Structure 1
């Protein structure tokens, strides 16, 4: 059926409005002050906005050619590589929760790393219902902070939250012993107080330190106090 002139005009107007809307949304995505990208859990980044390219110095084509591992090694601080790795692991065992973290990354032509805070959520799933792609948003915190004190506070809060999650891996007995260690009690006093052998208490203390990654009592106590114990 042929369209009338009125119908054709209305259709052309709708197409025009749709193009304008798409152009507006595209501009927003590419100019928003945050790195936005879609990452395939197997292949790595498959799409990113212009802010991501400008912030890190790699075009989308370069990122794809490099591959996920090489790209991450080039931009992410070696000590923070666990953040993207934990993100991938999280979504391979998807529980429905979003994933976030604080990490350092740098532009390919710069040596100095900047602090970013990032979030990710499931974006695409395969036929089996497993997460295939994740949508990520990373924000460079440095220019968003009015003072250095704000940045330090934000990092300390993030570390405190991370430590609290780490302490959830301890058993109730381990938490109980750790709390007494933080109060300065010796293994013998703790053993008498909890009706345990000194050997058992020392075994728990070694297990606690191994799980929390500390090598001495001072670091162990400091970590525990950051998490709210003691």
Structure 2
């Protein structure tokens, strides 16, 4: 015969289980009904989980996405001009562990021709034993239904450009950033060389390397890019 104290413990345990099940059901509902595409992307395999909103917005079930693989899935949904963004994101998060603005891009539902504008954020989600990031958690919001004016879209695209330029600047060495900052202030190679105790030849070499790294063909474009990224 079960003792009264044991019955009370069983009832208390059952109550906790019910409460836990209710919390899980509530959180699951929130995740799947939130008006944003939430998904986890493996840096090698591509998307390994997504919420219902992601499936409804782009028309592919999680099973379809996983069967295609990350590369084919991205090529099907992302605008050809924006296909660099997923790749840039993966390369970036192999070394970055924070949460930050991920970019603005165009994607479309599998049964539609027109593309919608999305704005995304991402964060390192899981790591390998050696500390390398293996998965990232991504949140993309469809901006098209929410954009009331061209001004809003332009502002979003400008923010995206700023973000891209910031990533380019981060790819430079400390010395290159130092020289680029002085270039933005209108300093000549001779002046920079004197201030940093370098030869003019070394400064000019750095300047050529900086332009090659940032993809600019002249000083004016170089300065504009750097200032858009908040440098100078």
For normalisation by structure 2, the TM-score amounts to 0.77
Shift of 1:159: 1.6
Number of corresponding residues: 221
Deviation at 1:42, TM superposition (A): 1.6
Aligned to 2:84: 82
Q: Return closer, same or farther for 1:97/1:133 CA change in 2, 3 Å cut-off.
A: same
Q: RMSD of aligned C-alpha atoms?
A: 3.1
1:128 aligns with 2:134: no
Comparing 59-68 with 141-150, greater Cα deviation is found at 141-150
**1:3 shift after superposition:** 6.5
The runs of 5 or more residues in structure 1 that have no matched partner are 182-189
Mapped partners of 1:191, 1:21: distance in 2: 64
Q: 1:71 to 1:176 in 2, by over 3 A?
A: same
Query: Could you say what secondary structure the match of 1:128 adopts?
Result: coil
Cα offsets for 1:178-212 (capped at 9, x unmatched): 5438xxxxxxxx46766899988876664443222
Higher mean C-alpha deviation, range 195-204 or range 49-58:
195-204
* Residue pairs, 1:1-230, within 5 angstroms: 2=2, 4=4, 5-93=7-95, 95-102=96-103, 103-167=105-169, 169=172, 170-180=176-186, 190=188, 206-215=208-217, 219-220=221-222, 222-224=224-226, 226-227=228-229
Higher deviation after alignment, 152-161 or 67-76? 152-161
Residues 20-48 of structure 1 show CA distances to partners (whole Å, capped at 9, x for unaligned) of 22111111000001111112222211111
Give the superposition deviation at 1:138.
1.2
How far, CA to CA, are the matches of 1:47 and 1:203 in structure 2? Answer: 47
Residues 179 and 164 of structure 1, relative CA distance in 2, 3 Å threshold: farther
From the superposition, tell whether residues 141 and 127 of structure 1 become closer, same or farther in structure 2 (CA, over 3 Å).
same
Q: What's the TM-score once normalised by structure 1's chain length?
A: 0.78
Quote how far apart the aligned CAs of 1:65 are: 0.3
User: What's the offset of the Cα at 1:66?
Assistant: 0.1
Change (3 A) 1:174 1:18: closer
Q: Is the 8 A contact 1:48 1:60 kept in 2?
A: yes
